[in-house]
Amino acid sequence: MLIFFVLTRLVLDFFLNYKRFGVLKFMFGLRLKNLKAAGVFSFLFVFLGTEVFSQTSGTVEECSFGVFRSQYGDMFDVRYWQNQLDDNYYFHTGLYDDAINFAWAVNFLGIYWGAGYNAKVMNHKAWPHNLTDMDVCIMAGIPSLGLGVRASYYDKNVYKGLGTAAPKVEIGKTFESVPVKLGFEAEGKFRYWKSLHLDVAQIPFIFKFDFSPDGMRGAGGTYTVMPTLKYPSAVNEVSGLAPMQGFSVWAGWKWNILDNLEFGLRPSFMINFNCINTADYSINKRMSELDQDGVGSLVENLNWIPENGNTEWRVSVPFSAVYGVTEKVQIVVGFKCGFYWANFDHMSEKHTGGRNLHGTVNETGFALGLKAEMNKNAVFQIGSSYIRQLSLNPEGNTTGSPKDYETDAPNISVSNLFDQPVTVSLTLRF
Q: What architecture does CATH give domain 2-429?
A: Beta Barrel (2.40)
* Over residues 94-107, mean pLDDT: 85
d(CA 413, CA 430): 39
Alpha-carbon dihedral angle through residues 373, 374, 380, 382, given to the nearest 10 degrees: -90
Q: How many CB atoms lie within 10 A of CB 25?
A: 12
Number of C-alpha atoms within 13 angstroms, CB side, residue 404? 8
- Say yes or no to pLDDT of 48 above 60: no
pLDDT, position 20: 34
Mean pLDDT score across all residues of the chain: 79
Specify the pTM.
0.80
Q: Residue 34's pLDDT band (boundaries 50, 70, 90)?
A: very low
- Give DSSP secondary structure letters for 27-80: HHHHHHHHHHHHHHHHHHHHHHH--B------HHHHHTTTSS--HHHHHT-TTT
pLDDT tens for each residue of 244-285: 999 999 999 999 988 899 999 999 999 999 999 887 777 666
Radius of gyration of the chain (CA): 23
- Say yes or no to pLDDT of 16 above 50: no
Q: What's the farthest any 2 CA atoms get from each other in the chain? A: 71
Assess contact for 348 and 279: CB atoms under 8 A.
yes
d(CA 178, CA 146): 12
What spatial distance separates the first Cα and last Cα of the chain, rounded to whole Å?
32
d(CA 428, CA 375): 10
pLDDT tens for each residue of 216-248: 999 999 999 999 998 888 888 888 899 999 999
